[in-house]
Amino acid sequence: MKIQSFLLIALCSLAALTASAQTRNDLSIPHLEKHGMATQLIVDGKPFLARAAELNNSSASSLEYMKPLWPKLVAAHLNTGLATVSWELIEPEQGKFDFRLVDGLLKEARANDLHLVILWFASWKNGKSNYQPLWVKTNQERFPLACSEDGKSMPTLTTLSDANRDADTHAFAALMRHLREVDGKKHTVLMIQVENEVGLLGDTRDYSPVANQAFAGPVPKELMDYLVAHKDTLIPELRDVWATNGFKTAGTWTEVFGPGKPAGMAIPVRTLSPPLTEQEHETGWRNLHWPVDEIFMAWNYARYVGQVAAAGKAEYNLPMFVNAWLQQRDHAWPGTYPSGGPVPQVHDLWRAGAPAIDILAPDLYVPEFEELCGRFTRSGNPLFIPESRAGAQGVANAIWAFGTHDAIGFSPFGIDRFAGSDLELIHAYDVISQIAPLILAHQGDGTMTSVLLDNGGAPQTVRLGNYNLEARFSSRSFGGVSNTPPERVAGLFISTGPDDYVIIGRGMNVYFTAATNPSDSVGLATVEEGVYAGGKWIPGRRLNGDETPEWKALRFRSDTYSIQHVKLYRYH
């Protein structure tokens, strides 16, 4: 090699190394930051609330297909789209990368003033391996698959292969390097989801020869050290398993965590009743079944995905998350939902094995929305919901998650199908976009909360500041609107002064009682309905009389979410 070429290569490598080292501590790029008890996504120096939606899996593979969608996303008041970038399309030939599609997505997103969260579909998508390039898919000698107990190969790359992990890592690092180069100053891309709903489907654990060997061996020291160091703060489900087996600090997987699935037992697609009893069917989806198998898989997925993420972050240090296909009724046993994915009972395994992952995120379609948000925010895990339902129910859940859990963002799945037609989402995202600066300013400091109200359900009372607020579902409405509210509505309350509140609500009445000096009676001093424009409150109607039932409650219209400002006073 000529000396000039050598110097050029050395200079380029040095520049790349310096650039990637800089991104590690660069607070000008999107990053997570603590704000009181909350964790916020900071974009261009300001906290950001993601009014997001996820595209269908294949949409972002064609810029042509995307063309008519962009304006619909904007019209739906989204500020962020979740879009797939797949390994097969960026590295069709080993080592030859093609980022034209990525660049096209960035260009269109910017032209529409939208941000992107990129979903890295690579080794796994929903427990299976479909998105790896053909040169990986067709070479199982080099890129081995997981096996079920009966010895059959599954259509799923095994976690226990350096070749699998390194090939994915190499491609992901190239993607992140490219993003740094083309977006490191523009910040269109906010976060990255690494893989999609990982875990093994079809059996409780990988039974390939290499996996069997690892399973028969000792629990890795790094994991044991983590458990010992975090013994008092472990997720209770995991701590219980460890306790039941005597808090051993060394041993094989089954010595430390107990026995796995009984030999020869096949895992059904769904856990119905039978094979479960009625009782188990109702309750079994909250329990751990053969925990050692799921713990073993969680550790191995976390190690693999953690390494992929770390290599990507070394190139461009964006926040990274993984998403979970949840354990649920009909899918109670590991293997009927992906075994080893980041479900709540194995969050510690993910924290220990994948420190480069910032957020463990739920794909939240189940009716137990509040319970799952609670289980996903234990141990300070920030809440970001990359997949959920839209419609009135989804919108209520989103508002509640913003108010109660300081959620970073909410993203119903499949926006292609309902962009333009889901008026519930459009109206709610409009209201949230108006009030987002206030929500963000109040995150994490105890001055904001929210309730969910179901038709026919009990009223909800919360204490906020100097008052107790009781919210009651109400289908009555005055002021020119008479729709029946949907079955579920949300109320979000922000305390803006000793006697002042800003409230988003719908189809509900809100009553106040004094929490300090409880013998005081509380009256409504002034009630305004209005909108925010450019962060400034623009009052509309002054509400009183029939619009404030019994002259002591706020009444929220039933047809859509609206914002009210209330000032209270006390009398004796």
Binding mask 294-323 for ligand DGJ (x = CB under 6 A): ------------------------------
Q: Which 387-416 positions form the footprint of ligand DGJ (CB under 6 A)?
A: 387, 413
- Count, residues near ligand DGJ per rule CB under 6 A: 7
CA separation for the pair 536, 155 (Å, rounded): 54
Q: Which of 108, 197, 294, 348 binds ligand DGJ (CB under 6 A)?
A: 197
352 contact partners, CB below 8 Å, separation of at least 6: 222, 223, 226, 227, 299, 302
Nearer to ligand DGJ, 40 or 196 (CB): 196
> Which CB atom, from 360 or from 440, has the smaller least distance to ligand DGJ?
360
- Strand 80-86 to strand 31-35: parallel, antiparallel, or no bridges (unpaired)? unpaired
Site string for ligand DGJ, 140-179 (x = CB under 6 A): ----------------------------------------
**Cα torsion for 360, 209, 264, 350, to the nearest 10°?**
-10
Nearest distance from C-beta of residue 369 to ligand DGJ, angstroms: 16
Figure out which of the listed residues 39, 164, 196, 317 binds ligand DGJ, where binding follows CB under 6 A. 196
Q: Do 327 and 197 form a contact (C-beta atoms < 8 A)?
A: no
- Minimum CB distance to ligand DGJ smaller for 126 or for 455: 126
If one asks whether residue 126 binds ligand DGJ (CB under 6 A), the answer comes out as yes
C-alpha distances (whole Å) from 43 to each of 119, 203, 480 are 19, 41, 40
User: Do 307 and 163 meet the contact criterion of CB atoms below 8 Å apart?
Assistant: no
**Cα-Cα-Cα-Cα dihedral sign, residues 368, 373, 378, 381:** positive
In the window 46-85, what residues touch ligand DGJ (CB under 6 A)? 57
**Cβ pair 399, 434 in contact under 8 A:** no
Q: Shortest Cβ distance from residue 517 to ligand DGJ (Å)?
A: 51
Which residue's CB is nearer to ligand DGJ, number 126 or number 212?
126
Least distance CB 360 / ligand DGJ (angstroms): 14
- With H, G, I as helix, E, B as strand and everything else as coil, classify residue 443: coil
As measured in angstroms, the least distance from the Cβ of 126 to ligand DGJ is 5
Is 358 an interacting residue with respect to ligand DGJ (CB under 6 A)? no
Contact 440, 470 (CB under 8 A): no
Rounded to whole angstroms, the Cα distance separating 522 from 200 reads: 57
User: Which residue of this chain has its Cβ atom nearest to ligand DGJ in the complex?
Assistant: 197
Q: 126 vs 249, which CB is nearer to ligand DGJ?
A: 126
Residue 90 Cβ, how far from ligand DGJ at the closest point, in Å? 18
Nearer to ligand DGJ, 83 or 109 (CB): 83
Phi first, then psi: give them for residue 551, nearest 5 degrees.
55, 25
Q: Is the Cα dihedral 291, 405, 308, 84 positive or negative?
A: positive
Options 183, 358, 363, 424; binder of ligand DGJ; rule CB under 6 A: 363
Provide, rounded to whole angstroms, the least separation between the CB of residue 384 and ligand DGJ.
Answer: 14
Nearest-CA neighbor of 471 among 499, 443, 444, 452? 452
Cβ proximity to ligand DGJ: between 82 and 211 the closer is: 82
Q: How far is the CB of 361 from ligand DGJ (least distance, A)?
A: 11
Residue 450: closest CA among 484, 407, 408:
407
Minimum distance from residue 87 beta carbon to ligand DGJ (Å): 15
**Residue 119 C-beta: closest distance to ligand DGJ, Å:** 8
Using rule CB under 6 A, residue 271 touches ligand DGJ: no
Q: Minimum CB separation from ligand DGJ for residue 269, in Å?
A: 16
In angstroms, rounded to a whole number, what is the distance separating the alpha carbons of residues 381 and 64?
38
Token pair recorded at residue 492: 């979000």
| E strand spans, 139-221 | 145-147, 153-157, 189-196
Residues that bind ligand DGJ (CB under 6 A): 57, 126, 196-197, 363, 387, 413
